[in-house]
Structure 1
């Protein structure tokens, strides 16, 4: 038992760590801690915990209830940084988390990773800046589940076609890797999206000539399609991504690239291949043995091309004429003599995962 009189003035207590006290079951004392800022209740037995006990803490900013056997959430759980990871939560109800005005500066962060969540209700997260939901069992995400949430991590869930077209509002970074997605209609509503991770998504191994997943995500800058067993890139698949700066295609099975793969037919006024260049395309660890570098002049130019781990044997001396200024050639069959010639032509050659020549 924990008495509210354990301190002379419980209403002045700002930080409390109860981590690991699994025998503690009576939490009524929490009501008297009205000025609490940080509360650590990790690794406890909080099954059936009454979240209303926290309603008397208007200044509560940091709340850690990770690994505490929590199975249900109530509405209006408030805080700037909330860690509920490693519990057995099955559902995130409407209005579960709200980032109040006093927390808006710097944003609110919610960690619900490693639970057993299957459904995200409408308005579950309101004005929260970051939500981590990786390693759950989510299959359904309802309309307006994420309202003005900038960062959403849904890695390794059970999502196929259960995302409502209007599930996300204002998202700028979305991680959907390790899901067996089959319906991408919701992407067309994400006009503020800047970073999208779709690695380990089996759909893309079947995505061939009719593949038009991305449409016109005009703000998208970073796209990760690594580890998808992709064998071919349909012409035009990236054509609507007018802001694309980094494309990750590592660890696929690509052996051939068509002319026009990196074309941008949706051209803005004053369009030019250099002004709208893709800063980096990573094709490392595919099955490329030969590459016609002139294809990089058929649309948007590419500054940095990474070909680590492919079977390519030679690079033309005039590679700079194709707009390429940096190459990644580690673990390829390109000879040292060829590399020396590239250096003499002022072409930077970088190691894998290394920005320095």
Structure 2
């Protein structure tokens, strides 16, 4: 999404959502019962998270940038906007906006950026669309997470001829009809990830001559045939159901530089254009079997799982490889390759970073020019060496690496051989590269890769500039010079590379500040944990009166987190679990160069599997996560001794739930799920499941008091002080407000205007949610897909059906 609070704030406020110690460091005394005023620095005004139900008044003339995100605005009328005639940037993300009057945007003739993510724009879309037609100067429009289907969305952006960036992600679009973006010739970037798109008609993208970036990740596309978008530079098709990808085989010069086809169902290498500029190709998490020259000659495509016959399609792997001469980064991890395709890679003369982790590689042999296997001791001098500098072979079935294998890689600088079955080299000269061994499993010699998703996020997160592409060409090493970074097109990432950045985080105690300075690599994982803590907390408590609002409005929040309430107990436990979870998984994924995979389990594997893969490094995650999350508890700034003891206890409970979530995960190697080889490792459950366990403990939390037990003050149950506090239960010191009515002094936002369920008997029922005040009912026309029919190949057509539903909101 565009610019809706998903980036790292300048002063690290995402950490405020994660670590209650930092949250509390921002508080200064009691919270005033009066609404906080907007922060105004002409020409910018921020009214973020102030609980507003309408536009602020009397802000004065000259406002050019207005942030109203995280409020409760329902309607946008002409009277709201008439005073903002100079407005250029308007952010109304995360509100409850559902109605935009026809003249509401007529005065905003200078508006170039409009951010409307996470609202209710699926309601009244027909009348709302009329208002948007007046935005003739608009360049950036964010409509993500508004429950829009294909027809609804078109009403909002049609006729916006100046638009350059359009975000339609996290909606319910199922198809892109031809001409849907007609007239939008300046459009450069479209984000359509996390929809339900199954069909893209001809003429949807072709007229957009300026289009550079398209993100179609997380949809339901089954095939791409006759790909003809010559103008594209970045295309993300990851997390679909693609069975094959083919482009037109004309003489057109394609501008494509980054292509992500990961997490699909590809069996064969994609059929790419003859002429292109591809430098980064991601084919990880597919079902590619072989890259030998005779593996994909003219044949029928047969899906191994469905046994579905596909049309004939000629694929010449050798010619395809010859067209990949500019590719520097190739990810083939998590496929079903059993041979290392030297012949294929020889044609990739610029290849520097190669990832073949989690395949079925065993003994290293070299295939002949016709695809047959040659001797495992080839005459190396007959073939030129590969240009690869960084090679990832972890989590395969490799038993040995012959010396000629390294002779074929004369420029190799880093290699990852973790989680294989390697034996020590029989003989090695001192000048030979040495494979490090420990516990019969090779480990990383040096880490030289970065997370591909980060690269795609950076590349699709903003407009592709010509200067950026030229700079990547200038900085690409020539001849035998190898890059020190994984992807040349990463762009500028969050700069956790200087210790001065730690000073930007207000509220850190000396121990935390020192940890930050010594472990800068950890900070991206901690920031990621902050984001996840916030979103998971809100989702877990969406059906309760308290819906995690204490974190949602950070740092302008109520005092309930600082008084030892039940809600405080949950937040501390979830934060502690999430930060350790994030670090543990970052070790396993290779994002953290200072740690590796978790150690192999001590238990004996079963008869049908063996230990392998790369498990989450829970030990390191717990060590570093607890050091950061609990660091502030040593300081008196963190409240009374009772509060510190409570927070430490609840953090430990969160980490215990995390440890209990470690389970065995397995992957089958073999066709059609035959599991001829089954590799298993230890992995953590996702944070959502951990939060669900903690919610159960939240509901059963024990109220405690701080009193002497012998010569020491301890936390003991207030009602049952004959027993000690259990190590597995959450504890709290003071009772929570009922969260029924708005009371800033107690940290309650109230439940007015919250949606409820009339027929439910649980916490989201109108009786409980509305606290006996009653509720208002309104009707809404819902447009749904119906009578859907699948057509070969590969799209689904549906009719539109309307039904009237009744909604209820608390008075």
Question: Is the pair's TM-score, using the shorter chain for normalization, greater than 0.5?
Answer: yes
Of 119, 130, 144, which residue of structure 2 is paired with 1:44? 119
- The one of 157, 174, 194 equivalent to 1:114 is 194
Q: What is the aligned partner in structure 2 of residue 267 from structure 1?
A: none
Q: Which piece of structure 1 moves more, 49-58 or 66-75?
A: 49-58
- Of 181, 206, 214 in structure 2, the residue corresponding to residue 131 of structure 1 is 214
Aligned to 2:145: 67
Which residue of structure 1 aligns with residue 352 of structure 2?
Answer: 245
Structure with higher Rg: it is 2
1:290 is aligned to 2:400: yes
Find the aligned partners of 1:145 and 1:83 in 2 and give their Cα distance: 22
Alpha-carbon distance between aligned partners in 1 of 2:107 and 2:292, rounded to the nearest angstrom = 62
Aligned to 1:29: 104
Change (3 A) 1:292 1:206: closer
**Distance across 2 between alignment mates of 1:319 and 1:81:** 56
What TM-score do you get using the length of structure 1 for normalisation? 0.76
Alpha-carbon distance in 2 for matches of 1:110, 1:254 = 38
The size of the alignment, in residue pairs, is 325
**2:147, 2:171 within 8 Å by CA — same for their partners in 1?**
yes
Instruction: Please list, as runs of the form range in 1=range in 2, the aligned pairs for 1:9-20 lying within 5 A after superposition.
Output: 9-19=83-93, 20=95
Residue ranges of structure 1 left out of the alignment (5+ in a row): 262-271, 340-347
Q: Which residue does 1:4 correspond to in 2?
A: 78
Task: Identify the range of structure 1 (110-119 vs 187-196) with the bigger mean alpha-carbon deviation.
Answer: 187-196
2:428 to 298, 317, 323: 317
Question: Which one has the bigger helix percentage?
Answer: 2
Whole-Å separation in 2 of the counterparts to 1:319 and 1:259: 26
Greater mean deviation of Cα atoms: 140-149 or 66-75: 140-149
CA distance in 1, matches of 2:345, 2:110: 52
**C-alpha displacement of 1:328:** 7.2
| 2:446 pairs with 1:350 | yes
Give 1:219 shift: 1.0
CA apart distance, 1:182: 4.6
Which moves more between the two structures, 30-39 or 209-218? 209-218
Aligned with 2:170 (options 62, 86, 95): 86
Shift of 1:40: 2.0
TM-score of the superposed pair, with normalisation by structure 2: 0.36
- Corresponding residue of 2:284: 199
Please, which moves more after superposition, 54-63 or 145-154?
54-63
Question: What secondary structure is seen at the aligned counterpart in 1 of 2:114?
Answer: strand
Moved more, 297-306 or 187-196: 297-306
CA contact (8 A) 2:76 2:100 kept: no
Would the alpha carbon gap of residues 7 and 24 (structure 1) be closer, same or farther in structure 2, given more than 3 Å must change? closer
TM-aligned CA distance change 1:76 to 1:96, over 3 Å: farther
Alpha-carbon RMSD: 3.6
**CA deviation map 1:104-141 (0-9, x unaligned):** xxxx4322110011223445154233222110012354
Partner of 1:345: none
State how far apart, in whole Å, the 2-side matches of 1:247 and 1:319 are.
Answer: 26
Q: How does 1:217-232 map to 2 (within 5 A)?
A: 217-232=324-339
Distance 2:340 2:130 in 1: 53
- For residues 117 and 281 of structure 1, do their structure 2 counterparts lie closer, same or farther at Cα, with a shift above 3 Å needed? same
- On the 8 A contact 1:131/1:152 being kept in 2, the answer is yes
Q: Secondary structure at the match of 2:271?
A: helix
Deviations 1:67-95 (A, max 9, x none): 11211244565534432111011223446
Distance 1:25 1:55 in 2: 12
Distance in 2 (CA, whole Å) between partners of 1:237 and 1:304 is: 21
Task: Describe the SS at the equivalent of 1:284.
Answer: coil
